[in-house]
Chains A and B, each alone.
Chain A
């Protein structure tokens, strides 16, 4: 009784009048499923965080790699990561890659999205076709590798940015947004007043597209932050690897398996403790979790523009 009274009070959770209340069993099954599903995601992440803060003695007591509730806390692992050395360098490199890469990607994406969005402009149709064709075909790993090799970019940080700097999907979504959601009258009016294309882009179009720009930038950023495959492929010889590669080497080294083709984990720490490993995991998760609310706030809109067109 009280729950229904409460429910009618809170407008946000009101069931429409025509919708019949589901049976108790149905509700129970649904709730149980949702709770289990959420737990399967939250519990491992929680255990990782808890372990990263566990002291060595707490880990030894538990005799395991992962703890749900460490009885003794320590921030030693984080001091080791952030206190200089290989891990710190790797984090700095990855942050620079992410920031620089995202900036480059955004310049490419915005430029082409606007450049190809004006109706009737010269060549916009064939150029758009060139972009769209990338959805249908992949050039293949080996030819891409050969091109990077020919450009002399192997074992250079540029090879982690340039080959994947443009995501055609983002370009198409942004172009569609510019065409459909930025009123053409505004652009025409700005033109009448003598504004050039660049000025129109910066003064009219971009300020109206902040939400979608944020989402696209964050997707690019997550991509650069998670870079692993390109590093394995293009930059195996770099001394300071992106953080994902370092994490992979730490994982391999404790599994007692050679990092196959990648070479051994070269940091000073010979055998990383579980706490250290999990602290690196937390360090790779934290930026994502920080960005997450922004992505969430805006991105349903972006998906609707992109996926459900027509």
Chain B
């Protein structure tokens, strides 16, 4: 979500008020001047070093035949052998396909749902209705997956609310929560229930930044409701749409772990296995160090490539993307 800015914004506030005479100082002088700042940043940077960069460098064992019982450098390098193993693994490719399937569903149906919700909300005139509705729809975003799945089981599960109504009406038990053929839809539904409202809020914030006089001018010129939406609203939120799209694409192999792990027992691993659960069950649970790391690294590298490519395409299309070219 961050429009990551790598440089200080041009002439604004501090920069404008600063006296421009500034002699070049040596590193020692700067250190004497800036050490409190560095000290303040140190805890966070230490956290990143220990819990981001150190594990990142552990990825090297994806190219080794690693065993924890040998000194580190005694582990032989095996090139891409683990990746070859990965792609011939009978469970990996289905997990990858499942991941892509859930991701695609999210991208195709959840994203537009958020936009649609935002557009509808934006067209509601009464601020009271808006604030009540907003408060309701993005509340589930703050719920944990455990909570969401529990609520879904209670409502739509075999012993749940709806199932009992159907039984009371003489119908059949509802079994969509544990039926592999309906799980894909249900996973999407859970996702939508949890996150669509949050997406709506982000688009609403973007919509709020559109200058209202544009609408007025268009209306005066005779543009109707739909025309205004097409020519003002959509272009107005396009940068945000592109930004979120890039982030989504970069995360295409990340659909989360909890939602699928939680329903694995009920639905079966064939349907719920995604890359993260694969790494957990086939890597960590089996203590398959190099294999599990290779699976994770595959995911990380594809994510990195996708986000760079998507951003590049966005730049080419004249959009801002997630970072500015500088």
Q: Does B88 reach chain A (CB closer than 8 Å)? A: no
Q: Does B128 reach chain A (CB closer than 8 Å)? A: yes
A149 to chain B, nearest CB (A): 9
B41 x A119 contact (CB < 8 A): no
Q: Which residues of A contact B56 (CB under 8 A)?
A: 137, 139, 143
- Interface size class on chain A is 35 or more
Q: Does B215 reach chain A (CB closer than 8 Å)? A: yes
Which residue in chain B gives the minimum CB-CB distance to A43?
A: B155
Q: Does B280 reach chain A (CB closer than 8 Å)? A: yes
Q: Does B111 reach chain A (CB closer than 8 Å)? A: no
A141 x B220 contact (CB < 8 A): no
B279 x A307 contact (CB < 8 A): no
Q: Does A292 reach chain B (CB closer than 8 Å)? A: yes
B17 x A252 contact (CB < 8 A): no
Q: Which residues of B contact A203 (CB under 8 A)?
A: none
Q: Does A24 reach chain B (CB closer than 8 Å)? A: no
Which residue in chain A gives the minimum CB-CB distance to B152?
A: A44
Q: Does B169 reach chain A (CB closer than 8 Å)? A: no
In the docked arrangement, what's the CA distance between A151 and B58, Å? Answer: 14
Q: Does A58 reach chain B (CB closer than 8 Å)? A: no
B144 x A119 contact (CB < 8 A): no
Q: Using a Cβ–Cβ cut-off of 8 Å, how many residues does chain B contribute to the interface with A?
A: 128
B13 x A185 contact (CB < 8 A): yes
In the docked arrangement, what's the CA distance between A302 and B33, Å? Answer: 31
Q: Which residues of B contact A201 (CB under 8 A)?
A: 40
Q: Which of A34-42, A71-79, A84-92, A263-271 contacts B (4 or more CB under 8 A)?
A: A34-42
A307 x B205 contact (CB < 8 A): yes
**CB < 8 Å neighbour of B299 from A63, A121, A140, A300:** A140
Q: Mark B291-323, 1 if CB is under 8 A from A, else 0.
A: 011011101110110011000000000001011
B44 x A111 contact (CB < 8 A): yes
Q: Which residues of B contact A292 (CB under 8 A)?
A: 135, 139, 142
Q: Does B87 reach chain A (CB closer than 8 Å)? A: no
Q: Are A183 and B13 also in contact (CB < 8 A) when A12-B127, A63-B164 are?
A: yes
B243 x A114 contact (CB < 8 A): no
In the docked arrangement, what's the CA distance between A130 and B48, Å? Answer: 8
In the docked arrangement, what's the CA distance between A45 and B155, Å? Answer: 10
Which residue in chain B gives the minimum CB-CB distance to A39?
A: B136
A166 x B161 contact (CB < 8 A): no
B18 x A45 contact (CB < 8 A): no
Q: Mark B23-67, 1 if CB is under 8 A from A, else 0.
A: 000010011011011111111110110111111111101000000
B280 x A141 contact (CB < 8 A): yes
Which residue in chain B gives the minimum CB-CB distance to A200?
A: B36
Q: Mark A126-156, 1 if CB is under 8 A from B, else 0.
A: 0111111011111111111111000100000
Q: Which residues of A contact B129 (CB under 8 A)?
A: 34
B241 to chain A, nearest CB (A): 11
B139 x A41 contact (CB < 8 A): yes
A272 to chain B, nearest CB (A): 12
Q: Mark A171-189, 1 if CB is under 8 A from B, else 0.
A: 1110010011011110110
Q: Which residues of B contact A251 (CB under 8 A)?
A: 146, 149-150, 153
In the docked arrangement, what's the CA distance between A306 and B206, Å? Answer: 11
Q: Does A25 reach chain B (CB closer than 8 Å)? A: no
A308 x B4 contact (CB < 8 A): no
A22 x B225 contact (CB < 8 A): yes
Q: Which residues of B contact A138 (CB under 8 A)?
A: 254, 296, 299-300, 303
Q: Does B125 reach chain A (CB closer than 8 Å)? A: yes
A293 to chain B, nearest CB (A): 8
B147 x A309 contact (CB < 8 A): no
Which residue in chain B gives the minimum CB-CB distance to A118?
A: B37
A154 to chain B, nearest CB (A): 11
Q: Are A308 and B240 also in contact (CB < 8 A) when A66-B155, A144-B55, A255-B266 are?
A: yes
A-B contacts, 24 of them at CB < 8 A, read: A13-B125, A20-B225, A33-B120, A41-B136, A44-B151, A111-B41, A122-B37, A128-B6, A139-B59, A140-B279, A140-B297, A141-B283, A146-B55, A147-B55, A165-B47, A166-B44, A168-B48, A173-B2, A180-B12, A184-B16, A188-B18, A251-B146, A306-B3, A310-B3
Q: Which residues of A line the B interface, CB within 8 A?
A: 12-16, 18-20, 22, 30, 33-34, 37-38, 40-42, 44-45, 47-48, 51, 62-66, 68, 107-109, 111-112, 114-116, 118-125, 127-132, 134-147, 151, 162-166, 168-169, 171-173, 176, 179-180, 182-185, 187-188, 196-198, 201, 222, 225-226, 228-229, 232-233, 244-245, 247-248, 251-252, 255, 257-261, 277-278, 281, 284-285, 288-289, 291-292, 295-296, 300, 303-304, 306-310
Known pairs A12-B126, A20-B225, A141-B296; list 18 more (Cβ under 8 Å): A12-B128, A13-B126, A19-B219, A41-B197, A42-B136, A107-B43, A112-B41, A119-B15, A122-B37, A134-B48, A135-B4, A135-B322, A140-B59, A142-B289, A229-B261, A248-B150, A307-B205, A310-B5
